[in-house]
Structure 1
Amino acid sequence: MRSFDCLRISPSVPDKRSWSLSPSGLFTVKYFFLALSQYSELPPVFPTKIVWNAQVPFKVKSFVWLVAHKKVNTNDLLQLRRPYKALSPDICKLCMKHGETVDHLFLHCSLTMGLWHRLFQSAKMDWVSPRSISDMLSSNFNDFGSSKRGIVLWQNACIALMWVVWRERNARIFEDKARNAEYLWDSICFLTSFWAFCSKVFKGIPFNILQLDWLAACN
């Protein structure tokens, strides 16, 4: 219990709320997780930079937040929360082989893993799948270079891949639609390039150049 003996209250000064971890004095989720990730006695619990610094729509950032914390409604979680709403809980709708978990769907599924391999190939890098999607997001890859453009483009590409995988999963479950890996990769390329095109660091770079060669656009 904290002691309030040292506090001095002045009746002439109006009360106000202040949160010391934010420069504005107002509570924000961003600065809350930033404080958690920088707390020396705890390991990083959230890939702060790739989420809050990413040049993507806010709803997509929120989605990645859920993925990193394993809070998206994959079938394994639905089976625990609402068993009657879990559709084929032991089957991943993308590969039709393994049970659907966050780590499987966004990292270890054969379809998703193929997309990750293709992303690393576009950066001319070899890649070994990590244990979890959280580890993947927390890794400091500089596969498009360490410049601001390279960092933004890599963050966009990783997030676009997860977003496209999630939308494809939902389309197969709720719309009975299935697209092949080539279509999904084209969608990832488009979103990555579009989000980068809308960011300040790629100002002046034509959209078609971004789509054609990510490495060249980062130089």
Structure 2
Amino acid sequence: MVKNALILGANGSIAKIVVKQLLPQIGGQITNLTLLVRHPERLADLDLSNPNVHVVQADVTDTKQLARIMTGQSLVYANLYGANLGAQAQSVVAAMCQSHVTRLVWISANGVYGEIPGAYGRWNQAMLGDTLTAYADATKVVEASQLDYTLIRPAWFQDEDEIDYELTVKGQPFKGTEVSRKSVAALVVKLIDQPDQMIGDSVGISKPNTDGPAPRWYR
């Protein structure tokens, strides 16, 4: 279990589920939880009254400010998005090195290695386009770092109330086409609870038995 955790992009759909699951542990197993966002009002639906939960408004591309925020953190979980995701990753890695924080959990995307076979791989590439390129750029930055990282490559998100997933590792063909947000959040929480697990791994995550040419709601 980490003592101090920092979530980048804390208003993201996965990150919010992670926060809700971590809140009962704050002040106990987790000493402090820091939530970094550009728009704090987007966290209004969360109960953040715990004094050990800290909301910080910042942009991850401001490396100097980010390094100050990271000082004293035990783990960084990045749930970021955008056309400049590669630049965001460069700033995060640089800030972690400056602040001597080594453990990083980074949400990437399925398909960043061209690891999806067949029709679904072609569909995923066509649907994501430049977004997939941005995720791939960030993935390269994280993998080239000296950090203790875990990359998570989810299939397409759905909102079923379930935790049901299987993992593939880098070098294996990606399985499945969809995964619940709760499943991805459960994996992130597991890594926060057990930060010595999956270091240096890039894992694909999907719901078992969902293979096909596209997620079922697109067929």
**TM-score above 0.5:** no
The structure with more strand, counted as a fraction of residues: 2
Q: TM-score band (shorter)?
A: under 0.3
Q: TM-score, normalised by structure 2?
A: 0.27
The structure with more helix, counted as a fraction of residues: 1
Q: TM-score, normalised by structure 1?
A: 0.27
Structure number with greater Rg is 1
Tell me: higher relative CO, structure 1 or 2? Use CA pairs within 8 A at least 6 residues apart: 2
